[in-house]
Chains A and B, each alone.
Chain A
Amino acid sequence: MLERKLVNVGFDRVVLRDRRPFGLATLARYPIFAPEFLDFVERVVPPDRHDALVYAVDVTATAAT
């Protein structure tokens, strides 16, 4: 979906440079999340997703000429 959005607004040569799972342990490194929120996420998200709630991606693209 991100690639499509980039192309739609005028980017080309879209390249996925890196992709890493972003789970509860990673989330806990960020001080914007209180322990209560982390507990909430742990409670409502199935355990098999705790290591990869989302993915962190690095993407590059070029402004089409």
Chain B
Amino acid sequence: MPYFTDADARSIVRTTYEAAAPVGIDVAHVLYGPDELAGVPEDALRWAFGVGNPVRHAGPGPGEVVLDVGCGAGIDAFIAARRVVPDGRVIGIDMTPAMLDRARHHAAAMKIVNVEWREAFMEALPLPDGSVDVVVCNGVLNLSTRKSRALAEMRRVLRPGGRLALADLVLTESLPEEIRRDATALAA
């Protein structure tokens, strides 16, 4: 029996990320290389909440369409956008309007024009079947109470042979029940 309903989980995650107030840029410098961060405003680096570097593993190239599931303030989308020019594009999807606003602000500052931002849930991606070449997802799948549904959606929107690169947190042994029932832990 899950400790949180879908609605509860979404509300907790949205509230947590809306209220986040970054103070440092440690996470970005741990996860990404200097070449990837070049030209990314420091303010955007402070909003890097991922746990890996899926764009590096996916290796998108010119002309490809990339979907960033749970794009947050956009750092992975920005890195992908520069790799798919001149005619490729990136779609960044997030369920938190405040994070999408931050992404749009940073994209404008970087003069990145080949990314579109959409508000949506990862379990119901607003894209046609087989419409993207690459899906990246960084530290987001663990926020879903319906992970298989979210993965099925990522598969549905990928063309046959398309690539998924996922960075996430996994348990090798259970955490104490007090942690599993905690709303803040859910947002991790």
A residues near B (Cβ < 8 Å) are: 1-2, 5-6, 8-11, 17-18, 22, 27, 29-34, 37, 40-41, 44-45, 52-65
Contacts and interface: CB of A to CB of B under 8 A. Distances in A.
> In terms of DSSP, what is the predominant structure of the interface of chain A?
mixed
Contacts of B176: 44-45
- Classify chain B's interface size: 35 or more
Contacts of A18: 52
A29 B24 contact: yes
B22 A31 contact: yes
Given A9-B155, A62-B164, A63-B155, A2 B170 contact: yes
Contact of A34 (B54, B168, B184): B184
B54 A63 contact: no
B165 A58 contact: yes
Contacts of A6: 151, 164
Interface in B134-169: 147-148, 151-152, 154-155, 158-169
A43 to B, nearest CB: 9
A32 B16 contact: yes
A8 B155 CA distance: 10
B162 A62 contact: yes
Contacts of A58: 52-54, 57, 165-167
Contacts of A1: 170
